[in-house]
Structure 1
Amino acid sequence: MSTTMSTKILCKDAEATALKLRLDTGLRVRLAARSNEYTKSTSGLAPTYLQANLVVLPSRYAADFRGLCARNPVPCPLIAESSSVGNYSSLKSYLPRLSTSSQLAAGLDLRTDCPRYNVYDGSRLSKAGVSAVTDEWTDDHVAFLIGCSHCFESALECAGFTVRHSVQDRTVPIYRTSVPLNPSGIFTGSTYVVSMRPFPKKDIERVREITRAYAPTHGEPLAWGWDALARLGIADIDLPQWGDAPLTEDGQQPLGTLVGDDNNVPVFWGCGVTPQEAIMKAPLEGTILAHAPGHMLVLDCREDDVL
């Protein structure tokens, strides 16, 4: 590699690092997403600020979706929804300590404030990773915010644990499982989706203890261990359906090269991509919108507000 090319790469990395350091509040992240200045995963951004998954449905499906969340609180913890049908700037909170929309996110625009979005035509993904959904939003849409497991990562890091994908500037690996969701109305026949973070076996009990308190953001892991792949119906740890493939701690090899290693044990949490999986399994009509996996809506409230 030439000296000039190496210098350009170093400069680009330095600029990206500087941008991430500057995006230290929910508002700054939302504004950077709105202007298309920031387009990557929100993992590690604005530490201690609450992040949320986004699902936007035609109003006729709203009641069934609320029921899906109520019956599946681990993968689908509902924290807020549009304050009224068609409203993209004001929220109704389901968090006991946060009663007003301004406490959740002031100056909000749900159509632009995630770094990237997915668009569904009925149950079929038609656009992936778009920068905004302003043109797709209608007066009949209802938005739902689902808790995100990014939100306990700060707590894990403060306790001295390494959240590997964040350190490696990658998106958390996300897997489809064979664990069935409890159905609700039109939402039937779907399964859990899980996110995965590896930890040493000796640390898992402490990791469980820390994350258990964050029930509105998926809480403690639902499975762990190399044998959990078979229990969850995950065929290959190196082939997630969403996010980036997990790597060894040095970032040089696929995690699957260490199968059985007690210092690299897969730990699985319920994941807010689960509603998007449910959407693709349901016979829906109309335009459905969602965040692109890993590209969350970052709010103004803090992670400790959910405790």
Structure 2
Amino acid sequence: MITSDTNNVASPLSAYALRQLIRMGDFTRNTSGFAQGCVQGNIVILPKDWAGDFLQFCQFNPKPCPLIGMSTNAGDFLLPELGQDIDIRSDVPGYRLFDNGVLKQELTDIKHLWRDDLVTFVLGCSFSFEEALIADGLEIRNISESKNVPMYRTNIACKSAGRFSGETVVSMRPMLAKDAIRAIQICSRFPSVHGAPIHFGDPKLIGIDDINTPDYGDAVTINEHEVPVFWACGVTPQLALEQTKPPFCITHSPGKMLVTDIVNSTLAVL
């Protein structure tokens, strides 16, 4: 069994093979560094009567909520356009169940909760561009330290849409200033997975008081002369859910993504 306590020994696994392990309950950790080359996605599942507002929220806020796929019809739990035999009810390592905006439970399977009125949204994830940064010789600290990426709530407001509003959540990777500039250049080519960073330097300027205490994920080492580099993060909808309070919603657990068969390089913009 592969658990959250193991190192990234399974990174050569294909996306399909990784999803099969997840479905069987044999993989329960965060997915950063696994199925390299494949797009990973954040998940939001809502009742149909809330789906229109959330779709507009994604369209208004493409940096934190870059939409890469959604179910064709309410009640669909298979996502064939994103990968072979993807079943959204069982192929994510961790789910969160929200009731009126309150986190009620963390689960590894949601088949018993599935309803015919549910619509699935898949949003691009920063884990996808990490491959391009590593290929350019940049260290990704959460991968080298085998941790979940640190994520923080900020004071950066999202554009409201219907019933949805909230502030942006960011993920952080520490880098030397010259590497941060290179990361901006590289990630600008991947707008479907959050694109370029939205801030680097003083975290207090975006409402983060303690960089060593992330709101989600794990703290990582920040070495001398490094600056924190912040990307808009797909956990942003979870903060919006807390404020908007839909009666029922399921998301992924932070860091535990849907791994698709889409190749990262196909999302690059020249």
> Does the TM-score normalized on the shorter chain lie above 0.5?
yes
Structure with greater helix percent: 1
For residues 30 and 283 of structure 1, the distance between their equivalents in structure 2, rounded to whole angstroms, comes to: 30
- 1:166-191 deviation digits (Å, cap 9, x = unpaired): 11110000000011110011113x10
What residue is the counterpart of 2:197 in the other structure? 221
Asked if 1 retains the 8 angstrom alpha-carbon contact of 2:8 and 2:33, the reply is no
User: Within the alignment, does 1:116 sit opposite 2:94 as a pair?
Assistant: yes
When normalised by structure 2's length, the TM-score is: 0.95
Tell me the matched-pair count.
266
What residue is the counterpart of 1:4 in the other structure? none
For residues 43 and 26 of structure 1, the distance between their equivalents in structure 2, rounded to whole angstroms, comes to: 12
Which runs of no fewer than 5 residues in structure 1 stay unpaired?
A: 1-11, 91-100, 248-254
After superposition, residues 133-144 of structure 1 pair within 5 angstroms as: 133-144=110-121
Matched to 1:64, the amino acid is D
What residue is the counterpart of 1:203 in the other structure? 179
The DSSP-based 3-state class of the residue aligned with 2:230 is strand
| Deviation at residue 19 of structure 1 after TM alignment | 5.0
What residue is the counterpart of 1:162 in the other structure? 139
Out of 146, 164, 169, the position equivalent to 1:193 is 169
What residue is the counterpart of 1:73 in the other structure? 62
| Deviation at residue 230 of structure 1 after TM alignment | 1.6
What residue is the counterpart of 2:208 in the other structure? 234
Matched to 1:29, the amino acid is L
User: Within the alignment, does 1:303 sit opposite 2:264 as a pair?
Assistant: yes
The DSSP-based 3-state class of the residue aligned with 2:69 is strand
| Deviation at residue 29 of structure 1 after TM alignment | 1.4
Matched to 2:89, the amino acid is R
Cα separation, partners in 2 of 1:75 and 1:108, compared to 1, 3 Å:
same
| Deviation at residue 122 of structure 1 after TM alignment | 2.0
| Deviation at residue 43 of structure 1 after TM alignment | 0.2
What residue is the counterpart of 1:267 in the other structure? 229
Asked if 2 retains the 8 angstrom alpha-carbon contact of 1:186 and 1:283, the reply is no
After superposition, residues 67-106 of structure 1 pair within 5 angstroms as: 67-90=56-79, 101-102=80-81, 104-106=82-84
| Deviation at residue 142 of structure 1 after TM alignment | 0.3
What residue is the counterpart of 1:245 in the other structure? 219
The DSSP-based 3-state class of the residue aligned with 2:59 is helix
Out of 237, 249, 269, the position equivalent to 1:288 is 249
The DSSP-based 3-state class of the residue aligned with 2:98 is strand
RMSD: 1.7
For residues 209 and 60 of structure 1, the distance between their equivalents in structure 2, rounded to whole angstroms, comes to: 39
- 1:243-300 deviation digits (Å, cap 9, x = unpaired): 00122xxxxxxx4xx6xx42x2100000000011111110311x21011000000001
Matched to 1:152, the amino acid is F
Say which one has the larger Rg.
1
Matched to 2:234, the amino acid is G
